[in-house]
Amino acid sequence: MPASSGGVVCKWSNKDKEDHHLDKKRGPLGFAYPSRILICGKQNCGKGVTAMNIACTPYPAYDTITVWHYAPEHTQEWKDIDAKMIADCPKIEDFPKEKKNLLIIDDIDLINMTRKEKGDLDRLFGYISTHASCSILLCTQDFASVPISVRRKCTHWVLFPSVDFSANRHVSMATGHNFKELAKLCKTKHDSICFDMSGNGGPELRLNLYIPICQSDPNEG
Which residues face 195 on adjacent strands?
Answer: 157, 205
Predicted pLDDT of residue 3? 56
Which residues face 102 on adjacent strands?
Answer: 65, 135
Predicted pLDDT of residue 218? 42
- Measuring CA to CA, which residue among 181, 202, 183 is closest to residue 192? 183
Q: Hey, is 59 helix, strand or coil?
A: coil
Residues of the chain with pLDDT under 50: 217-221
Predicted pLDDT of residue 36? 98
pLDDT in tens, 6-41: 678 888 889 899 999 999 999 999 999 999 999 999
Predicted pLDDT of residue 169? 84
Contact between residue 22 and residue 31 where contact means Cβ atoms under 8 Å apart:
no
- Cα–Cα distance for residue pair 145/142, rounded to 1 Å: 5
Buried b (16+ CB within 10 A) or exposed e, 57-79: ebeeebebbbbbbeebeeeebbe
pLDDT in tens, 36-62: 999 999 999 999 999 999 999 999 999
Predicted pLDDT of residue 1? 53
Beta-strand ranges (E) seen in the chain are 36-40, 64-69, 84-86, 101-106, 135-140, 156-159, 193-196, 205-207, 211-212
- The CATH code for residues 18-220 is 3.40.50
- Measuring CA to CA, which residue among 119, 105, 110 is closest to residue 55? 105
Predicted pLDDT of residue 217? 45
pTM above 0.85, yes or no: yes
